[in-house]
Amino acid sequence: MELVVGTKKWSSWSMRPWLVLRRAGIDFQDTLVPLREFDASEAEIGKHSPSNRVPVLKDRGVTIWDSLAICEYLAETLPQAKLWPEDQIARALGRSAAEMHSGFAALRDECPMALDVAPMVKALSADAAKDVRRIVASLADLLTCFGGPFLLGEWSITDAFYTPVASRFRTYGIDLAAHGDNGAVAAYCRRLLETPEFLAWESDALAE
């Protein structure tokens, strides 16, 4: 099994399935394609991905692109890893919460993942602040519903999707309390950034 990822300090999309694979505890080939090298990056990604985007998973002669599709494939291929909870409603809520995959454009645009940047305090636009409030409310609801320590109780794909978000909150000094957090979401974000999977990714990113 091979996972093709982009530059680790920037590619939040790549981080998500990488975390899932590490959490599943299986060996895989980690192939890095440098991003932001313009034509060179596009040509290199094109060798692996029909969409010319990363991440890409290669397994048993099949190429799968898109981080959510890859994670769902891994959940089905590795049921022993329990990447989704057994409860159907919990899975549905977890998948709904993974709206970060396609939503929150203002936050993504204004606060791109940048693991090599020292923490700062950044003023947010009204649209980005609205995104943060929506994220805080969604995560708080799940933590209350399932009792933590992760969004669906035990760690799941949903947590992989929010780990890059937690890194953004840290990098840009976003005060979650100012966006409706009672402390539970901030504590959850710290837990995400203390998992061995994220620490391994961050170590790789800072060594690039």
What CATH number should be reported for the domain holding residue 42? 3.40.30.10
pLDDT single digits (tens) 158-183: 999 999 999 999 999 999 999 999 99
pLDDT at 201 over 60: yes
Domain tally for the chain? 2
Let me know whether 158 and 201 are in one domain. Answer: no
The separation between CA 1 and the C-alpha centre of its own chain, rounded to angstroms, equals 20
Please indicate, yes or no, whether residues 126 and 92 belong to a single structural domain of this protein: yes
Do 53 and 152 lie in one domain? The reply is: no
Measuring CA to CA, how many Å separate 30 from each of 15, 27, 36, 75?
Answer: 11, 9, 19, 19
| 180 and 201, same domain (yes or no) | no
Residue 128 is part of a domain; what is its CATH number? Answer: 1.20.1050.10
C-alpha–C-alpha distance, residues 104 and 199, integer Å: 25
Any bridge partners for residue 56, and if so which? 4, 65
- pLDDT for 45 equals 66
Percent of the residues in the chain that have a pLDDT greater than 70, as a whole number? 93
Structure tokens at 120: 């700062």
> What's the pLDDT score for residue 37?
58
Phi and psi angles of residue 120, each rounded to the nearest 5 degrees, phi first: -140, 175
Distance CA 126, CA 113 (A): 20
pLDDT(134) > 70:
yes
Please give the average per-residue pLDDT across 72-95, as a whole number.
96
Does 177 share its domain with 138?
yes
Same domain, 10 and 57: yes
Q: Tell me the C-alpha distance between 207 and 203, whole Å.
A: 6
In terms of domains, do 132 and 168 share one? Answer: yes
What is the C-alpha separation between 15 and 9, in angstroms, rounded?
9
The pLDDT of residue 46:
65
Residues 119, 141 within the same domain: yes
**Per-residue pLDDT tens digits for 14-64:** 999 999 999 999 999 999 998 865 554 666 766 767 777 789 999 999 999
The parent domain of residue 128 ranges over 88-195
**Token digits of residue 133:** 């409030």
Kindly tell me if the per-residue pLDDT of 92 is higher than 80. Answer: yes
Instruction: Using the predicted structure, report yes or no on whether residue 66 has a pLDDT greater than 70.
Output: yes
Q: Which residues contact 75 (CB under 8 A, 6 or more apart)?
A: 20, 81, 83, 84, 157
Per-residue model confidence (pLDDT) at position 35: 82
Span 110-129, mean pLDDT? 96
Q: How far apart are CA 118 and CA 137, in angstroms?
A: 27
Q: So what's the pLDDT on residue 156?
A: 97
My answer on whether 147 and 116 are in the same domain is: yes
φ, ψ dihedrals at 27, nearest 5°? -75, 140
**Does the N-terminal peptide bond of residue 55 adopt cis geometry, omega within 30 degrees of 0?**
yes
**Higher pLDDT, residue 112 or 100:** 112
Q: What's the mean pLDDT in 125-152? A: 97
Of 71, 58, 62, 68, the closest CA to residue 22 belongs to: 71
46 and 126 housed in the same domain: no
Looking at the fold, whether 190 and 92 belong to one and the same domain comes out as: yes
- Pick the residue with more confidence: 12 or 53? 12
Please give the model's pTM, rounded to 2 decimal places. Answer: 0.93
Q: Are 38 and 55 part of one and the same domain?
A: yes
